[in-house]
């Protein structure tokens, strides 16, 4: 046993193992001590590991989150309406009793003053729809960055984005509003590929009468300065009286660029429709929604939610004939007569 020499003599533990005879008396107590030490180390290691695991688990940090023990049934994506469904696992809370409620992702692509604010209040009246409004305003440089855009959309679809529309737990359709001039078209290749991959359904909300839309844009821009209702700017109103106050402003419309600006707007929406053609989509016109509330059933069917009556507290602002709404009506009338936009003039289609 050459090893013996290498061990220091005073190392009593080694002596015990190597020379049982000379340390017989001590050996019993040492054996006991060893058992206790080894046992204690083992146990404490075990406790530390378990404790760590439990703590981390509670904090949702240990490996997969705790709910992953729980398996939702495999999603049978409905081939007949090609809705793709998901089980999001939000980071900020747990979905509780609706953990296995499948979620459908959607986006509303629209243009300013096309009724999308009103449309969203209708959608959000549904117990299982969360439509988060404009999550991009094109206000910051960040919002021109594709990674930022994707991250924010990801938050919405993971049910982590918080707004007054968030219903979280039992949401079964979640989406947001994206104006065509807020980056949706700029990155269309990447966005469309993202939408197709994640099964995002697109609701195009467009307004046919661009002259009415223009009146709304101008009145809204004017009110931003004038703040007609008690010194606050209102883009949407909730009473007839407020609506009348905002509608009292009659804009003067520049005739020379009118037709051109309409052509540009038509081009923008046609272009968007063409680009997003390959996504699952529906085209809804504001005018049809106003005239026929049944249109909302079609939207709910498209979103794959239970069809219920939906209502909004918002009140329509401009309800008079256009001729009473535009200061230089005669010249606008003359400008549009004989163009492809002539129909906009004789429009008494809704009250
Ligand atoms: C599939 O979608 C169709 C059309 O929306 C609907 O009638 C049907 O009930 C759906 N089936 C399932 C299993 O969800
Ligand atoms: C819709 O929401 C209600 C209320 O939160 C919930 O009880 C119901 O289970 C949800 N329905 C679906 C299909 O998710
Ligand atoms: C969302 O925001 C509301 C109001 O600011 C707040 O009460 C709620 O707790 C938030 N929800 C989550 C999940 O953060
Ligand atoms: C505006 O002021 C009037 C009276 O001064 C009041 O009745 C009304 O509630 C106010 N409206 C809002 C939106 O604050
Ligand atoms: C527009 O002008 C034509 C004649 O120039 C007139 O007949 C028509 O009534 C006008 N339309 C409206 C809505 O005022």
pLDDT at 198 over 90: yes
- The angle at the Cα of 102, spanning 100 to 108, to the nearest 5 degrees, equals 150
How confident is the model over 140-165, as pLDDT tens digits? Answer: 777 778 899 999 999 999 999 988 88
Q: Where are the domains of the chain?
A: 85-346
Distance between alpha carbon 175 and the CA centroid of its chain, in Å? 4
CA distances from 327 to 133, 217, 218, 255, 330 (A): 32, 15, 12, 12, 9
Q: What's the CA gap between 242 and 9, in Å, rounded?
A: 98
Quick one: pLDDT band at residue 28, thresholds 50, 70, 90? low
Q: What's the CA gap between 104 and 131, in Å, rounded?
A: 12
How confident is the model over 271-327, as pLDDT tens digits? Answer: 999 999 999 999 999 999 998 889 999 999 999 999 999 999 888 888 888 888 899
Quick one: pLDDT band at residue 206, thresholds 50, 70, 90? very high
Give, using CA atoms, the residue closest to atom 4 of ligand 1: 81
CA distances from 87 to 8, 104, 198, 266 (A): 64, 9, 12, 38
Best residue for ligand 2 mutational test, from 170, 172, 303, 305 (most atoms within 8 Å of Cβ): 170
Ligand 5 binding pocket includes 331 (Cβ within 6 Å): no
Give, using CA atoms, the residue closest to atom 14 of ligand 5: 323
In 3-state terms, what secondary structure has residue 215? Answer: helix
How confident is the model over 53-105, as pLDDT tens digits? Answer: 444 444 444 444 444 556 888 887 777 778 999 999 999 888 888 888 999 99
Contact 181, 111 (CB under 8 A): yes
Ligand 5 binding pocket includes 346 (Cβ within 6 Å): yes
Q: And the tokens for 59?
A: 């904090």
Q: Identify the nearest ligand to the CA of 324 by its number.
A: 5
Residue holding tokens 């980056």? 183
Q: What's the CA gap between 129 and 303, in Å, rounded?
A: 9
Which CATH superfamily hosts domain 85-346? P-loop containing nucleotide triphosphate hydrolases (3.40.50.300)
Ligand 4 binding pocket includes 230 (Cβ within 6 Å): yes
Best residue for ligand 3 mutational test, from 165, 166, 167, 171 (most atoms within 8 Å of Cβ): 166
According to DSSP, residue 232 is labeled: B
Best residue for ligand 4 mutational test, from 228, 230, 242 (most atoms within 8 Å of Cβ): 230
Q: pTM for this structure?
A: 0.78
Contact 108, 122 (CB under 8 A): no
């Amino acid at each position: 046993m050459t090893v013996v020499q290498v061990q220091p003599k005073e190392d009593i533990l080694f002596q015990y193992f190597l020379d049982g005879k000379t340390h017989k008396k001590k050996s019993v107590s040492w054996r006991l001590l060893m058992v206790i030490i080894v046992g204690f180390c083992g146990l404490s290691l075990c406790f530390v590991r378990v404790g760590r695991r439990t703590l981390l688990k509670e904090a949702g940090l240990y490996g997969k989150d705790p709910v992953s023990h729980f398996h939702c049934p495999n999603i049978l994506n409905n081939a007949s309406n090609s809705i793709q469904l998901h089980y999001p696992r939000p980071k900020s809370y747990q979905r509780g009793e609706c953990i296995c409620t499948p979620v459908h992702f959607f986006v509303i692509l629209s243009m300013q003053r096309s009724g999308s604010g009103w449309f969203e209040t209708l959608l959000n009246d549904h117990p299982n729809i969360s439509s988060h409004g404009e999550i991009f305003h094109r206000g910051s440089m960040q919002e021109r960055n594709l990674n930022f855009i994707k991250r924010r959309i990801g938050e919405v679809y993971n049910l982590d984005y918080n707004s007054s529309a968030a219903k979280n737990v039992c949401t079964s359709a979640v989406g947001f509003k994206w104006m065509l001039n807020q980056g949706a078209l700029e990155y269309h290749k990447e966005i469309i590929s993202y939408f197709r991959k994640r099964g995002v359904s697109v609701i195009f909300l467009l307004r046919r009468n661009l002259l009415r839309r223009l009146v709304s844009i101008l009145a809204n821009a004017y009110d931003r300065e004038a703040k007609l209702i008690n010194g606050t700017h209102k883009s949407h109103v909730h009473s007839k009286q407020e609506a009348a106050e905002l509608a009292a402003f009659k804009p003067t419309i520049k005739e020379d660029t009118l037709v051109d600006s309409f052509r540009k707007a038509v081009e923008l929406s046609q272009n968007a429709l063409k680009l997003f053609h390959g996504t699952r989509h529906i085209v809804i016109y504001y005018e049809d929604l106003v005239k026929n509330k049944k249109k909302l059933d079609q939207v709910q069917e498209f979103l794959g939610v239970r069809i219920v009556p939906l209502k909004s507290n918002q009140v329509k602002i401009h309800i008079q004939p256009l001729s009473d709404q535009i200061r230089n009506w005669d010249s606008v009338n003359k400008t549009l007569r004989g163009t492809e936009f002539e129909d906009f003039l004789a429009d008494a289609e809704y009250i």
